[in-house]
Amino acid sequence: MNKPDYKKITQALNYIAEREGGKINYMKALKLSYLADRLHLRKYGRLITNDRLVAMKNGTLGSQAKDIVSKNKALPYEAYHYSENKLKRDLDKFTIESNYKNKDRLSETDIECIDRVISVVGDKKEFDLAKLTHKLPEWERHEYTINRGENLVVDLEISDLFEPTNDPLLKEIYSQSKEELRLSREIFNESLEQEKCFV
């Protein structure tokens, strides 16, 4: 997959914070962003952020999104500099604050998927959302491995994001038909093949 789009990640986090009234717990923002990425893949055959998706003890999330909200100095310079100027982060209060209204990197379908996720689970607290991501097949695949280690990070199998979930609340978001999923998977696989041609 292409490298993470730090501008889209930052703008998506800003938009999520804006939808929450301007400020949001950063774990909650990461979970909502991940769930929106998952929905967009299932509907349109691509991720919103193109982030490296991982499983950790508190569920699934985007790796670079986590680095951005935590001001990780290991971020590539351009990603660190861009997010530093466009996203307020209070690490003591575990919050991010909207600081950039421009959404020029986000497509209509990106915003549609973020809005859909927020409309279904936006009222949940951060640890409720973490528990919810534990019910996704992509986390369940790695549950045993993750629970053996404290800070273990495991890369997700992207194909698992197309799998169904039995949780009623998650089904409200991920209710795509078999045909819709088949087409989205085809689009995603074709994009992977195209990337190989340019490597």
Q: What is the pLDDT of residues 158-175, one digit of tens each?
A: 999 999 999 999 999 999
Tell me what pLDDT residue 150 has: 56
**C-alpha torsion angle, residues 38, 170, 27, 44 (rounded to 10):** 20
DSSP 130: H
Give the domain ranges of the chain.
6-190
CA 96 from centroid of its chain's CA atoms: 15
Describe the strand order of the beta sheet including 87-90 as a list of residue ranges. Answer: 23-25, 95-98, 87-90
Tell me what pLDDT residue 90 has: 94
Q: What is the pLDDT of residues 67-124, one digit of tens each?
A: 999 999 999 999 999 999 899 999 999 999 999 889 999 999 999 999 999 999 999 9
- Residue where the block lists tokens 């379908």: 109
**pTM score:** 0.95
